[in-house]
Structure formats: C-alpha cells, structure tokens
Amino acid sequence: MTAAGFTEAEVFGIEGPAWSLLAATERHTGQSLIGSEMFESALTAARMAEPYPELLAASSHLLAVGHRPG
C-alpha cells in the first residue's frame, strides 16, 4: 500500500477467526447459518479480532484500506 502511494493503510480480516467453523458446519448440515446464533457469534468474534493484527492470518480474505493524497 505504501509503495503504491497510500497513507494511513489498515488491513482487515474479512471473515474473522470463526469462518472455518461456519463453513464446516454448513457443509456438514447442508443448511445456511445466516441469522443463526452461531453466525452472530462468529460476527462478534470477527469484530473482537479486528484490533489484533496477529489474528489476520485467521481470515481467508483481507481488505486493505488507505488514503491516496491528492
């Protein structure tokens, strides 16, 4: 990001640390977990993990955000 001219770059994990549990459960049951207690718990875990860069590797996709001067 810095090499591309962006400042104040931040990287976020998209799924968070519980995404693999959700994916495995959905595959096993064949049902969507959207809106379930497990889904809501996974969202809470993702939000709690946001300020900890060492947990980025627990997410399978990353989003980088920065500002480009000018």
How many domains, the chain? Answer: 1
Position 25 confidence tier, pLDDT thresholds 50, 70, 90: very high
Main-chain dihedrals φ then ψ at residue 21, nearest 5 degrees: -65, -45
**Strands (DSSP E) along 1-70, which ranges?**
7-13, 62-67
58 is a domain residue? yes
Residue 69 pLDDT > 90, yes or no? no
The Cβ-side half-sphere exposure at 33, using a 13 Å CA radius, reads: 19
pLDDT tens sequence across 26-59: 999 999 999 999 999 999 999 999 889 999 998 9
1 is a domain residue? no
What is the pTM assigned to this prediction? 0.72
Sequence letter at residue 9: A
List the structure tokens of 62.
């990353």
pLDDT at 40: 95
Quote the domain boundaries for residue 24: 7-67
pLDDT at 33: 95
2 is a domain residue? no
